[in-house]
Amino acid sequence: MHSYPEPALALVREMTEEAAREPARTLSFQGAPGCNGHRAALDYDPGCLPLPCFSFEDALDAVKDGTAAHAIIPIENSQNGRVADIHFLLPESGLSIVGEYFLPISYAVMALGDGPFSAAYSHPQALGQTRKYLRERGIVPMVYSDTAGAAAFVKEQGDPEACAIAPRIAAELYGLKIVAEGIADAADNTTRFVVLAQEPLDPAVLDGAPVMTTFVFEVKNQPAALYKALGGFATNGVNMTKLESYQKGASFAATTFFCDIEGAPGDPQFDRAMAELGFHCDSVRMLGTYRQARPRG
């Protein structure tokens, strides 16, 4: 809690105390009050008690230790790609994905005055999504742990040449002036969040609704292993919507793949495809089956 700038601390304490009284309603997120994670939590579950956490690990730990029933975590952005470290953190957390949410992203420039500004503070994702705007104005991007926290930091520092890139609500919470709005480099800027819980959903409760299944796998270290492992999805007509690779450890001999597919365990095509995948892999780990928040394709 004490890693937050002073202007955010009172709100963090208040929200933390309120959440502690009803863990079953609590939804943890990473960032200071007013960040996009806070917005996503309230949009996804208007009746929740949002719990601000300084890091992604803290938000996941809140679910693991029972402080929160769920966590809502950004996983990828339509403009700036995957959120750093999430592909490592999700499998290691031991939690299960039980939902997803797509949040339209809109950023504002906020500061103590009208500028001009020499530096803009924000989360790396927000800076990546507004790079053209900043470059055209000669504003140096400065990384901060989250968007709303950057707004609180600018308020705390009192530097008239510094601004923050954050959601509009952060200016209202921390007493900053909005200098410009809608500054993302793409009009359809959207972030996908996943919702996590201690226990996975039973696919049987999804009632035949369109669903996604997310898992990670590591293929055997032999020629054409990935090609063979993925063949079962094609031959069984299972739609794969996401496949990303990342290195696990320093050997660079084994690559881990993060994958989203349409379907659920119990579907014959799904089960056959996963069986073929497993034959060519050293490990397959399911991260969750959940309702689609948006149709694919």
DSSP states of 221-264: SSTTHHHHHHHHHHHTTPPEEEEEEEE-SSS-S-EEEEEEEE--
Residues in the chain: 297
Give the pLDDT of residue 2: 58
The DSSP H or E segment spanning 97 is strand 96-104
Give me the pLDDT at residue 134, please.
Answer: 97
Same fold, 6-104+190-197 and 203-291: no
Task: Count Cβ atoms below 10 Å from residue 56 Cβ, excluding itself.
Answer: 25
Q: What is the SS3 assignment for 116-144?
A: CCCEEEECHHHHHHCHHHHHHCCCEEEEC
CB atoms within 10 A of CB 55: 15
pTM reported for the whole predicted model: 0.91
Q: Record the tokens describing residue 295, joined without a space.
A: 């149709």
Per residue of the chain (297 residues), give pLDDT as tens.
458 899 999 999 999 999 999 999 999 999 999 999 999 999 999 999 999 999 999 999 999 999 999 999 999 988 777 786 787 888 889 999 999 999 999 999 999 999 899 999 999 999 999 999 999 999 999 999 899 999 999 999 999 999 999 999 999 999 999 999 999 888 888 999 999 999 999 877 887 789 999 999 999 888 888 999 999 999 999 999 999 988 776 666 668 899 999 999 999 999 999 999 999 999 999 999 999 999 886
Structure tokens at 244: 């990303």
What pLDDT, on a 0 to 100 scale, did the predictor assign at position 77? Answer: 87
CATH class of the structural domain 203-291: alpha beta
Q: What CATH fold (topology level) applies to the domain 108-181?
A: D-Maltodextrin-Binding Protein; domain 2 (3.40.190)
Give 214's strand partners.
Answer: 260, 288
Task: DSSP for 24-36, please give it.
Answer: GGEEEEESSTTSH
Residue ranges per domain, the chain?
A: 6-104+190-197, 108-181, 203-291
Q: Which CATH superfamily is domain 6-104+190-197 in?
A: Periplasmic binding protein-like II (3.40.190.10)
Residues 6+ apart with CB under 8 A from 106: 167, 168, 181, 182, 184, 189
